Amino acid sequence: MECAAQGFESPCVGPPTRRCGLCSAVAYCSVTHQKLHWSYHKEECERLEEQMRHVDVLNDFPFTFTEEATVQICQKQESRCSFLSKRESHHVGMWMYECKCGDSAGFSVYDSFKNDGWHLPSSSCPCFGPLSLLSRQLCSWTDYYEWRKIPLDSPVALLLHWPLTIYHAIQAIGMGNLTPQISDELRIHYLGPQKELGQLGVFAELQALIPGLRISVELVGPDVPQHMDGEMISLCNYSPCMEEECECKYSSKILNPGNESARSSAVTLQLHRGFYHDRYSDIVKDSRPPHIVIAPNAGIAAYPSWLPTIEQIKEIKVPAVFSDYCEEACHLATCCIKSITGQSLSLPIGLNPFRQPMAVEESPLFIPCYSNCFIFAM
């Protein structure tokens, strides 16, 4: 937590121990900084106060580890590192990028798959296809875990929030019954991937969530390393578990993009380095436009580069779904979108039931923040 007036007019004099008496969402290092900041904070104070009333809802998850991953993380009684260490998942495989220890690790498309896997028993992860097709829409983590026969002490939701957020976005904008609309391939443009680049195997779960279609995901963003630009990865099966004799070991593999099976595989990922507005024409040169654009944890109000990207999305006239860590970030984003497009949202800000169930460490607000916490659409 930082002083809300850090760098505002004068240096901070100590830790931010003085919380706003009205909203309790921000804190200050001194009375002086609180008074200096009021002219700015008064515009957001009432809104933040309303958001603080929803803290219990934000922290509501069905898992046996919920208290540990929410309240204890926020109160610094636990950390991501300690949480993963207790589950023997710290700094291994796809879990490597779930704490600060993995921040300095470089991404390599082939190394990421060589080290890929859940590092969990088969009973605790979706390492092979579902036992039954979905008979109804998934509306919560409880629904998903029951369908995939995974116990609620399994931490796989910490990684699966990426594909489940895509699934929820499609449902939320009314594209749930896809097969009549899309003949054979669902095309998704996925903007701004970061830690997902070390967790690409989790996107194989899309074949279970959206059966009967080939799914093409174009991942576009400045954080894609230069050596990964243009890489195509075909996921023909699910990320494997840790058991040597499990059936997933005999069927899971990454196919070379040149072979026929790769072209017909259920989920294909292609990586593009750069901003969406700069790369869009290259991406669609040899294919058709996307059915949906998805931008997780977008931070629209924080980055000027979003202005031309929003204009590009408006021009191609397809649904675009965004997520962010907290409701306030979404509010600021919607103001930016409206100023650029002159249009209101097609989907108002709403809580994502498939947000990551572990609080973000060092949040700038006292309101708990979660990866993919809220979604909205233009």
Range 109-116 average pLDDT: 55
Q: Which parts of the chain are beta strand (E)?
A: 18-19, 27-28, 185-191, 214-221, 232-235, 254-255, 267-273, 292-295, 320-324, 347-351, 374-377
- With beta carbons less than 8 A apart as the criterion, state whether 107 and 225 touch: yes
Q: Name residue 86's beta-bridge partners.
A: none
pLDDT digits (tens, 9 = 90+) for 325-363: 999 999 999 999 999 999 999 999 999 999 999 999 877
pLDDT at 255 over 80: no
Q: How confident is the model at residue 263 (pLDDT cuts 50, 70, 90)?
A: very low
Q: How confident is the model at residue 30 (pLDDT cuts 50, 70, 90)?
A: very high
Please tell me the predicted confidence (pLDDT) of residue 254: 39
In a 10 Å sphere around its CB, with 0-12 CB exposed, 13-18 middle and 19+ buried, how is residue 332 labelled?
middle
- With beta carbons less than 8 A apart as the criterion, state whether 302 and 344 touch: no
CATH no. of 64-247+264-377 = 3.40.50
The SS3 call for residue 262 is helix
Q: Name residue 293's beta-bridge partners.
A: 189, 320
Across 60-64, 101-105, 167-171, 194-198, least confident range: 101-105
Q: How confident is the model at residue 256 (pLDDT cuts 50, 70, 90)?
A: very low
Q: Residue ranges per domain, the chain?
A: 1-59, 64-247+264-377
CB atoms < 10 A from the CB of 257, how many? 14
What pTM does this model have? 0.91
Please tell me the predicted confidence (pLDDT) of residue 284: 95
Range 10-25 average pLDDT: 89
Q: Which has more pLDDT, 126 or 115?
A: 126
- With beta carbons less than 8 A apart as the criterion, state whether 48 and 23 touch: yes
What is the rounded (10 degree) CA torsion for 38, 371, 313, 285? 150
Percent of the chain with pLDDT over 70: 90
Alpha carbon distances (Å) from 256 to 73, 203, 248, 264, 268: 41, 17, 19, 12, 11
Amino acid at 9: E
Residues 6 or more apart in contact with residue 142 via CB below 8 angstroms: 62, 152
pLDDT digits (tens, 9 = 90+) for 135-155: 899 999 999 999 999 999 999
Across 37-46, 107-116, 149-158, 314-323, least confident range: 107-116
pLDDT at 250 over 70: no
Average pLDDT of the chain? 89
Across 93-102, 163-172, 244-253, 332-341, least confident range: 244-253
pLDDT at 253 over 50: no
Q: Residue 328 phi/psi, 5° resolution?
A: -65, -40
Alpha carbon distances (Å) from 10 to 7, 32, 41, 114, 175: 6, 9, 17, 50, 50
Q: Give me 227's structure tokens.
A: 């050596």
Range 229-233 average pLDDT: 93
pLDDT digits (tens, 9 = 90+) for 213-228: 899 999 999 999 998 9
229: left (phi over 0), alpha (psi -120 to 50) or beta: beta
Please tell me the predicted confidence (pLDDT) of residue 103: 63
Please tell me the predicted confidence (pLDDT) of residue 252: 45
Q: Give me 231's structure tokens.
A: 């890489």
* Closest to 191 in 3D by CA, of 215, 220, 171, 217: 220
Q: Using CA atoms, how far apart are residues 1 and 27, in angstroms rounded to an integer?
A: 8
The DSSP bridge pattern shows strands 254-255 and 232-235 to be antiparallel
pLDDT at 12 over 60: yes
* Closest to 239 in 3D by CA, of 109, 28, 94: 94
Please tell me the predicted confidence (pLDDT) of residue 320: 97
pLDDT at 116 over 80: no
Q: How confident is the model at residue 97 (pLDDT cuts 50, 70, 90)?
A: confident
Q: Using CA atoms, how far apart are residues 334 and 337, in angstroms rounded to an integer?
A: 5
Q: Using CA atoms, how far apart are residues 262 and 268, in angstroms rounded to an integer?
A: 8
Residues 6 or more apart in contact with residue 39 via CB below 8 angstroms: none
- With beta carbons less than 8 A apart as the criterion, state whether 372 and 161 touch: yes
